[in-house]
Amino acid sequence: MNPALSVIFLTTLIGVGQGLFLALFTQQSYALFDLLPHQGARFYGWGSLLALVFTMTGLIASFLHLGRPERAWRAAAQWRTSWLSREVIVLPAFMVILFLYGACHLTGFDPVLVILPSGLGIHATIVLGWVGTIVAFALFVSTGMIYACLRFLQEWHSPLTVINFILLGSASGFTLATLYAAKFAPSQTGFFGGWALIITLLGLLGRSASLWRNARLKQKSTTQTAIGIKHPRIVQKAQGAMGGSFNTREFFHGKSASFVSRVKVSFLLCAFALPLLLLTVNLSYQSVLLLAIAFVAQYAGLLAERWYFFAEARHPQNLYYQGVS
């Protein structure tokens, strides 16, 4: 596939937003049970709005992917069958919850909705946080399933696709939360940094597993099944057009194998190795600058990772576009 910048930015940016929200609410949940000190409302509020900025930017990027953005509202119609349609519904829902969660914190309108038998009061922001967590995961699953449900794109058709969207989005969000905490709630940097380290490590495992799987894939479709002629040697001599077509532009990235493998090495270094190193350093030596480098490197690495994710998928239609003479 030819990676589309709009989709690369969409999936990575909303991943950061989801991860940041999950990080903030994880901390608030710990604080609810007095496992961690409760932070001021401004910490959660502005953090949630920061996540909203990321998801909003992602949404804008997604519009750039559409040929007819003015009709985008129609995309909510087929939620019964289409994962893309489900994502189109869940993404704005998540943004609304980010806004409400942030607004409740910042305006101080946070009434106790339920009192548990133990006497613990459940605030509106906690309920919003739980709903938001479910919606954040629903969004990860919808985004991942857009790719994982295409059965003949064998590189994507795997549970690892969804798992990696969850892990990589969460990793970048938790790294950003660590940076955010280092600046505005230094006492919590260790908590966020620890989780960021664990999730980044899990992300590395998940992504390595899918790299390992995809390197060993046997393509089900061949030129023989594509045109239905059973001969071991079939060479394409013409593809019906000499100046290229949508099929050659959309499904071929046109980069050399060495370029693709360089992208792979760079995303393994930037998205995983460097952040893991800096997050480990963070455990003993806290530095906003190092965490900023960690987040920027990880985000840039994830951009490369997403580019590679698209580039490594070999679409069976390419079998019909192997040569022009």
Partner 1 sequence: MTQLALVIDLNVCVGCHACVTSCKEWNTSGSAGPLCDENPYGADPTGTFFNRVQTFEVGQYPNTETVHFPKSCLHCEDPPCVPVCPTGASYKRKQDGIVLVDYDKCIGCKYCAWACPYGAREIDEKQQVMKKCTLCVDRIYDTTLPERDRKPACVMACPTSARLFGDIHDAESAVSKAIRESAGYALMPEWGTHPANHYLPRRKTNLKIHEDELERIDNPLKVDGKLPKPSKTDPTLDDVTSW
The binding site for partner 1 (CB under 8 A) comprises 1, 65-69, 71-72, 74-78, 81-85, 88, 146, 149-153, 220-221, 223, 225-229, 231, 233-247, 250-251, 315-318, 320-321
Nearer to partner 1, 215 or 242 (CB): 242
> Minimal distance in Å, beta carbon 14 to partner 1?
16
Residue 155 to residue 140: CA distance in whole angstroms: 18
Nearer to partner 1, 297 or 319 (CB): 319
User: Residue 122: phi, psi to the nearest 5?
Assistant: -100, 115
- Asked if residue 189 lies in contact with residue 182, where contact means CB atoms within 8 angstroms, the answer is yes
Nearer to partner 1, 194 or 316 (CB): 316
Residue 150 to residue 177: CA distance in whole angstroms: 33
Structure-token pair, residue 277:
């190193």
> Minimal distance in Å, beta carbon 197 to partner 1?
35
Nearer to partner 1, 76 or 100 (CB): 76
> Minimal distance in Å, beta carbon 318 to partner 1?
8
> Minimal distance in Å, beta carbon 155 to partner 1?
12
> Minimal distance in Å, beta carbon 142 to partner 1?
11
Nearer to partner 1, 174 or 310 (CB): 310
- Residue 38 carries which DSSP code? P
What distance lies between CA 172 and its chain's CA centroid?
9
Nearest to 268 by CA among 296, 292, 293, 300: 300
- Residue 81 carries which DSSP code? T
